Amino acid sequence: MKILVTAKRVTDPNAKLVIDDDGSWIDDDVEYILNPFCENAVEAALQIASDNDAETIAIGIGDEEVQRYIRQGALARGVDRGIHVDAEEQELDSDLIAKILKAVVEREEPDMVLLGKQAVDGDSNQVGQLLAEMLGWPQATFASEVKVEGAEAIVTREVDGGLETLAVTLPAVITADLRLNDPRYASLAGIMKAKKKPLEELELDDLELDDEEPKVRVVKLHEPAGRSAGVVVADVDELLQKLTTEARVL
C-alpha cells in the first residue's frame, strides 16, 4: 500500500499581512507554518501506514523554501520520502494544484491521497475534490475518522447537521478535518533522520500538464471594514438596557 499526503506551507495565521504594491497579493516576507489541516493529514497517513504496512510520500508545491516544510512537517514526523514540485505559488489556482497532484498520482500510483480539507491561506476548500474528479476516484472530505477495511476506507465526515459515514473503495481521496487526530511532534531522532530521507525535486515541465493557465485570478486584495471595540457594561442590568434601547436587538 502507498499513501500520498500533502504538506502545504501557509502564512502563519497570526502574522500581520501586508498587501503588496501591485494590490493583488501579499508581501511574502512573513512567517510560515505547515497548514494545520495538512498536519492532520500527515498524522492520519502515518497511522494508516503503520496499521497497513504502507509507504508514505509527502508532496509540497512552491519555491525552494517549501522543502523545509516537507522535511520538518512530514519527513521528521515519519513520512518515508518527499516530492517537491517547484512552482510560483502565486501563479497557481486550486485547479492547477489539483492538476499537478494528478500528474504526481499518475507517476506514483498511490492507493490513497490524504490532504488537509482546506489551506488556511486561500481558504478555497477545493483541491481534494478537484483531484478526485480528475482522477475519477471516490472522495471522503472533512474526515474526522478513517479506517481501512480491506479494499475500502470507512470514513466519518463532519457535515452540517451531524456526522456522515461513507465507505469509499480504494484508491480514494480523503481530506482531513481538525478532529481526525492529534498530530504528533517530530522527535529529535526523527528530525535527524529527515535530513537524509529522499526528497525528489520536480519542475513543472517534468509533469507535462496539458494546461498551465490558472482559471481564477485575484485582481485586487483589500482590508475588510474594521469593527471598533464597544463598551464594557457594569452589570447585567446595563447590558439589557443597551440591548433593548440602544441596539434594539432584544
Q: Assess contact for 7 and 119: CB atoms under 8 A.
A: no
Handedness of CA 48, 98, 123, 88 (dihedral sign): positive
- 236 contacts another protein (rule: CB under 8 A): yes
- 124 contacts another protein (rule: CB under 8 A): yes
Nearest alpha carbon to residue 58 among 114, 119, 134, 133:
114
Q: Report the C-alpha gap between 177 and 37 in whole angstroms.
A: 6
Q: What is the identity of the amino acid at 152?
A: E
Give the count of residues interacting with another protein (CB under 8 A).
80
Q: Report the C-alpha gap between 29 and 26 in whole angstroms.
A: 9
C-beta closer to another protein: residue 53 or 223: 223
Bridge partners (DSSP) listed for residue 201: 84
Q: Which of residues 171-190 bind another protein (CB under 8 A)?
A: 172, 177-179
Site string for another protein, 44-83 (x = CB under 8 A): ----------------------------------------
Listed ranges 40-48, 67-75, 107-115, 156-164: which one lies at the site for another protein (CB under 8 A): 156-164
Q: Which of residues 19-38 bind another protein (CB under 8 A)?
A: 19, 26, 37
C-beta closer to another protein: residue 59 or 96: 96
| CA 150 vs CA 75, 111, 167: distances in Å | 27, 12, 11
Determine which residue in the list 47, 72, 90, 129 makes contact with another protein, applying CB under 8 A.
Answer: 129
Q: Report the C-alpha gap between 197 and 241 in whole angstroms.
A: 64
- 192 contacts another protein (rule: CB under 8 A): no
C-beta closer to another protein: residue 120 or 191: 120
DSSP state of 247: S
Residue 49 grid cell: 501506514
- 245 contacts another protein (rule: CB under 8 A): no
Angle between the 94-108 and 127-135 helix axes, to the nearest 10 degrees? Answer: 50
Listed ranges 105-113, 188-196, 199-207, 228-236: which one lies at the site for another protein (CB under 8 A): 228-236
Q: Report the C-alpha gap between 8 and 41 in whole angstroms.
A: 11
Residue 47 grid cell: 497511522
- 230 contacts another protein (rule: CB under 8 A): yes
Kindly report whether the peptide bond that precedes residue 171 is cis, defined as omega within 30 degrees of 0. yes
- 90 contacts another protein (rule: CB under 8 A): no
- 89 contacts another protein (rule: CB under 8 A): no
Listed ranges 60-68, 74-82, 168-176, 189-197: which one lies at the site for another protein (CB under 8 A): 168-176
Determine which residue in the list 39, 43, 80, 93 makes contact with another protein, applying CB under 8 A.
Answer: 93
| Least Å from the CB of residue 126 to another protein | 4
| Least Å from the CB of residue 23 to another protein | 10
